[in-house]
């Protein structure tokens, strides 16, 4: 297994950014925690944060030749705007889990719609940083079911 974790715009500010919505855990802590879990299983895991739509699109396109098996993505504000990033995920056909720290259904109406959810394997929202770990655990449980 080879997992790519993608974080969209402004998630580099986690820890200090609207902690009421996004919690106090930093992105470095999330990435390090996921890396530790993945390494413990003997998996490869790469994380990338970008504020630029094209950088995330390029990373999705490059995931295929790199042999990425699963993607965990928090598209952040691109959730509600980016047909291009959605199309990249549809193009590569790598299964992905959509994660949001906050509950996007309990906030402003414009956050309720996601361009990603109908293509996602599953969506986790509102559980803070735990959502990333739950997503990784879900991939692990699925792999173990398929290759016991």
100 catalytic per annotation: yes
**87-106: which residues touch ligand DQA (CB under 6 A)?**
100-102, 104
Q: How many CA atoms lie within 13 A of 103 on its CB side?
A: 5
Does residue number 12 form part of the binding site for ligand DQA (CB under 6 A)? no
Does residue number 124 form part of the binding site for ligand DQA (CB under 6 A)? no
Does residue number 50 form part of the binding site for ligand DQA (CB under 6 A)? no
Strand ranges of the sheet holding 96-100, from the earlier edge strand across to the other edge:
44-49, 2-7, 70-74, 96-100, 122-125
Indicate which single residue of 4, 6, 59, 76 sits in contact with ligand DQA (rule: CB under 6 A).
76
Strand, helix or coil at 27? helix
Q: Where on the phi/psi map is residue 37: left (φ > 0), alpha (ψ -120 to 50), or beta?
A: alpha
140 catalytic per annotation: no
Does residue number 56 form part of the binding site for ligand DQA (CB under 6 A)? no
Catalytic hit among 22, 46, 54, 105? 22
Instruction: Count residues near ligand DQA (CB under 6 A).
Output: 10
Catalytic hit among 100, 113, 115, 146? 100
Contact 117, 92 (CB under 8 A): no
Does residue number 7 form part of the binding site for ligand DQA (CB under 6 A)? no
How crowded is residue 55: how many other Cβ atoms within 10 Å of its Cβ? 12
DSSP notation for 41-72? TT-EEEEEE-S-HHHHHHHHHHHHHHT--EEE
Indicate which single residue of 50, 74, 86, 124 sits in contact with ligand DQA (rule: CB under 6 A).
74
For the annotated catalytic residues, the residue numbers are: 22, 100
Which residues are at the interface with ligand DQA (CB under 6 A)?
Answer: 10, 74, 76-77, 79, 100-102, 104, 111
């Amino acid at each position: 297994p080879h997992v790519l974790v993608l974080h969209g715009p402004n998630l580099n500010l986690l820890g200090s950014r609207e902690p009421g919505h996004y919690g106090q855990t930093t992105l470095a802590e999330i990435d390090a925690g996921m890396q530790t879990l993945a390494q413990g299983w003997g998996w490869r895991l790469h994380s990338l944060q970008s504020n630029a739509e094209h950088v995330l699109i390029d990373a999705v396109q490059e995931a295929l030749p790199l042999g990425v098996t699963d993607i965990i993505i928090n598209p952040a504000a691109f959730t509600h705007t980016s047909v291009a990033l959605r199309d990249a995920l549809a193009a590569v056909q790598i299964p992905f889990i959509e994660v949001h720290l906050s509950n996007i259904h309990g906030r402003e109406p414009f956050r309720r719609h996601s361009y990603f959810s109908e293509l996602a394997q599953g969506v986790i929202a509102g559980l803070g940083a735990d959502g990333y770990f739950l997503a990784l655990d879900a991939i692990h449980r699925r792999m173990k079911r398929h290759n016991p």
